[in-house]
Amino acid sequence: MRSIPTLVMIAYASAFPSSLGAHEAMSGWKYEAFCCNGNEHNGDCQMISTKNVKVTAQGYEISLKPGEHRLVTKRHDFSVKQSEARRSRDEEYHLCLYPNEDTLRCFYAPDMAY
């Protein structure tokens, strides 16, 4: 018979699977657990094309249309300060939308060259 604390932990893990660990980017590194929910097939994080990102003096301007991220169903324009961007580990841009497509949760960018 399992103890009550064990059953509580199992119930918590079942209710909040994203807290157990983040899914991986296509290149194999893991998104931070805070950023991602789901997996590589239905999760809210994925790599986006460099054509969707414009580097500015303030940081990044990101434009997405349907088909450019698995969760996007309408046009979106996001702004991210350079200080708020997370470091990409594969030199690509990655975007996490959570809890819906209107909310940019995390943005990963390669190091900026000066």
- In 3D, which of 62, 69, 60, 67 has the Cα closest to residue 38? 69
- In total, the chain counts a number of residues equal to 114
Closest C-alpha to 43, from 25, 27, 29: 25
Residue-wise pLDDT for 57-97, tens only, equals 999 999 999 999 999 999 999 999 999 999 999 999 999 99
| Contact predicate 78/62, CB 8 Å | yes
At residue 7, does pLDDT exceed 70? no
Which pLDDT tens digit goes with each residue over 27-48? Answer: 778 899 999 887 777 789 999 9
Cα 41 to Cα 14: distance, rounded to the nearest angstrom: 19
pLDDT at 79 (0 to 100):
97
Query: What per-residue confidence (pLDDT) applies to 22?
Result: 57
